[in-house]
Amino acid sequence: MTDALPEKGVPGEQILAELRELRAGDLPTHGGRLFAYVYDPALDGLDDLARAAHATSAHVNGLDPTAFPSLLAMENALVAAAARLLGGGPATVGSVTSGGTESLILAVKAARDAHPRIRSPRLVIPSSAHAAFAKAAHYLRVGLDVVPVQDLRADPRAMAAAITPDTVLIAASAPSYAHGVVDPIPEIAATAAEHGIRFHVDACFGGWILPYLRRLGADLPHFDLAVPGVTSISVDLHKYAYAPKGVSILLHASEELRRPQYFAHADWPGYTMINPVISSTRSGGPIAAAYATLRSIGDAGYLALAGKTRESVRVLAAAVEATDGVRLYAPAETSVVCLASDGVDLFVLADELAARGWHTQPQMAHAGHPPSIHLTVTAAVHATVESFAPGLAAAVDAARARGPVQLPPLPPLTAEAVTPELIASLAEGLGLGAGDFTQMATVNTILNAAPPALREALLTGFLSLLQRPTHGDVMT
Ligand SMILES: *Cc1c(COP(=O)(O)O)cnc(C)c1O
């Protein structure tokens, strides 16, 4: 790695060449063969537009909308668009955040701080809810009541039974990230309303595609602010709105519901700080890029993209169903295809798919669920989808030929026993030292066998090992 602070500045051309070289080692963000992390509409010219829009506002600071009214105007327009798409009414308000996690943390914070007299506030979620809720609970010291799902979906009765006098928020997903299924939002909303408890719909993943899938005739439950009892909803623009990273929207059904989300502090010698979201200084870049993306694609454009996505999901799901050795694990009702093993080692399969240029996301066994492979499907997949079935068949054959991962007997290990030295020797032994992450079956098999606390400790240790300053062979 080159030096980030060279003795003398380096010409721009050279720096951009370095960046391109670095980027060449990443998974492909475009081309419809990476089924996680990235969302690609494959629209000509859109990247250039978003880039230009990002550049116009990159140095603008969202800290103070009176200094930079351009950002306020764009934010209000984005919130209005989201509210229109997601069943908002005249009282709906919202905030632009940096991502789904921030939107969820703020939904939990608003609920917590709406009840200053509840000393030990609690949050009720289905076990399928996104990990960001656990993070919110952890950061905000809110108790977490995790309710088992039934057939992959939140169970409204069990959710109702989990409510206590300390419950400040109930949440569910539309759809869940792992399996892509929509929770029964109207039933849960009715319970929440009955108890006078806030109900957040996490539509971070699917909020910008579900309305279009419904318009295209998909049989999906109502899930948005139009459902009585839904008090807030989140949607990530950097997912199915296809905006560059760094933009999500949190909508509240009313101003009053949003109020405890804000943080204000005047009791210091500097400027009075009023923050609707977690960050204080915020770049206008992602907001301008999202604004440009929405205006460029437009409602009809999103409908067409949803149609391509839906067709791609159908073809992928059919490929899974037609392939011996794997099976669909969840109904492919939204924009996720989730497959499980029907005889083949899934972690070996994931490596074999990757070797053929199909990059999927393995998911570990959890609470009665077997390991699975997750595919986030976006419109770009449409162009390559017909070649998936032969690729999958070949990968399954290769995985069968290799056979399942055979772990050597491992010493018993607990989360507490994980030390930096142990992580370093494990990483070396597993061939991860050189930064090659293409052969992950053994690693995934070990992680899959580990209980969640140990899995967390191992991966935390590993990330911590990766995140070390690069000194050493400094070049100019
Ligand atoms: C992606 C996602 C989140 C978290 O969003 P980030 O933008 O990664 O912070 C939360 N909920 C669901 C359902 C998601 O898919």
Please report, in tens digits, the pLDDT of each residue of the chain (476 residues total).
889 999 999 999 999 999 999 999 999 999 999 999 999 999 999 999 999 999 999 999 999 999 999 999 999 999 999 999 999 999 999 999 999 999 999 999 999 999 999 999 999 999 999 999 999 999 999 999 999 999 999 999 999 999 999 999 999 999 999 999 999 999 999 999 999 999 999 999 999 999 999 999 999 999 999 999 999 999 999 999 999 999 999 999 999 999 999 999 999 999 999 999 999 999 999 999 999 999 999 999 999 999 999 999 999 999 999 999 999 999 999 999 999 999 999 999 999 999 999 999 999 999 999 999 999 999 999 999 999 999 999 999 999 999 999 988 877 899 999 999 999 998 988 888 777 888 999 999 999 999 999 999 999 999 999 999 987 654 44
**Ligand 1 atom nearest to CA at 205:** 15
Of all protein residues, the one whose alpha carbon is nearest to atom 4 of ligand 1 is 100
Q: What is the model's pLDDT at position 408?
A: 80
Tell me, in angstroms, the distance from the centre of ligand 1 to residue 190's CA: 25
333 lines ligand 1 (CB under 6 A): no
* CATH assignment at residue 282: 3.40.640.10
Instruction: Give dist(CA 455, CA 229) in Å, integer.
Output: 37
Closest by Cα among 349, 324, 327 to 445: 349
Residue 416 within a domain: no
CB 329 within 8 A of CB 372: yes
In a domain, 206, yes or no: yes
Query: From the CB of 100, is ligand 1 less than 6 Å away?
Result: yes
DSSP secondary structure letter of residue 396: H
Please tell me the distance between residue 99's alpha carbon and the centre of ligand 1 in angstroms.
7
Atom 10, ligand 1: which residue's CA is nearest? 100
Q: How far is the CA of 143 from the centre of ligand 1 (A)?
A: 20
Q: Of 255, 276, 251, give the one whose Cα is nearest residue 264.
A: 276
pLDDT score for 432:
87
- Supply the pLDDT for residue 476: 46
Number of separate domains in the chain: 1
| Cβ(203)–Cβ(158) below 8 Å | no
Please give the single-letter amino acid code of residue 416.
E
Whether ligand 1 lies within 6 angstroms of the CB of 335 is answered as no
State whether the beta carbon of 39 lies less than 6 angstroms from ligand 1: no
Distance 132 CA to ligand 1 centre (A): 7
Q: Is the CB of 173 under 6 A from ligand 1?
A: yes
Cα 393 to averaged position of ligand 1 atoms, centre (Å):
31
Burial of 133 (0-12, 13-18, 19+ CB in 10 A): buried
Backbone angles phi, psi at 398, to 5 degrees: -65, -40
- With respect to residue 104, please indicate whether it lies within any of the assigned structural domains: yes
| Ligand 1 atom with the shortest distance to the CA of 176 | 13
Residue 335: phi and psi, rounded to 5, are -125, 20
- Residue 153 belongs to some domain of the structure: yes
Residue 472 has a pLDDT of 63
The CB of 101 under 6 Å from ligand 1? The reply is yes
Ligand 1 centre and the CA of 242: distance in Å? Answer: 14
For residue 207, the tally of other CB atoms under 10 A from its CB is 29
What is 51-112 written as a DSSP string?
Answer: HHHHHHHTT-BTT-TTT-HHHHHHHHHHHHHHHHHTT--TT-EEEEESSHHHHHHHHHHHHH
Give the Å distance between the CA of 59 and the centre of ligand 1. 26
236 Cβ below 6 A of ligand 1: yes
Pocket test for ligand 1, best of 35, 37, 38, 101 (most atoms within 8 A of CB): 101
Q: What pLDDT score was predicted for residue 445?
A: 95
Residue 199 near ligand 1, beta carbon < 6 Å: no
Asked whether residue 410 is domain-assigned, the answer is: no
Residue 245 CA, closest ligand 1 atom number: 7
How far does residue 335's CA lie from ligand 1's centre (Å)? 14
Q: What pLDDT sits at residue 473?
A: 56
- What's the 12 CA to ligand 1 centre distance in angstroms? 35
Residue 36 lies in a domain: no
Residue at 141 is within a domain: yes
Cα 227 from Cα 185, distance rounded (Å): 8
Q: What are the residues whose beta carbons fall under 8 Å from the beta carbon of 150, sequence distance 6 or more?
A: 158
Range of the domain at 133: 52-293
Distance 205 CA to ligand 1 centre (A): 6
CA of 17 to the centre of ligand 1 (A): 32
| 245 CA to centre of ligand 1 in angstroms | 12
Q: What is the CA radius of gyration of the chain?
A: 23
Task: Let me know if residue 456 belongs to a domain.
Answer: no
258 touches ligand 1 (CB under 6 Å): no
Report the nearest-CA residue for atom 14 of ligand 1: 205
Ligand 1 in reach of 105 Cβ (< 6 A): no
Phi, psi at residue 227, to the nearest 5°? -80, 120
> Which residue from 205, 208, 376 has its CB within 8 A of the most atoms of ligand 1, so it is best to mutate?
205
Q: 204 CB less than 6 Å from ligand 1?
A: yes
- With a 6 A CB cut-off, is 107 part of the ligand 1 pocket? no
What CA–CA distance (Å, rounded) separates 434 from 14?
26
Q: Please tell me the distance between residue 158's alpha carbon and the centre of ligand 1 in angstroms.
A: 24
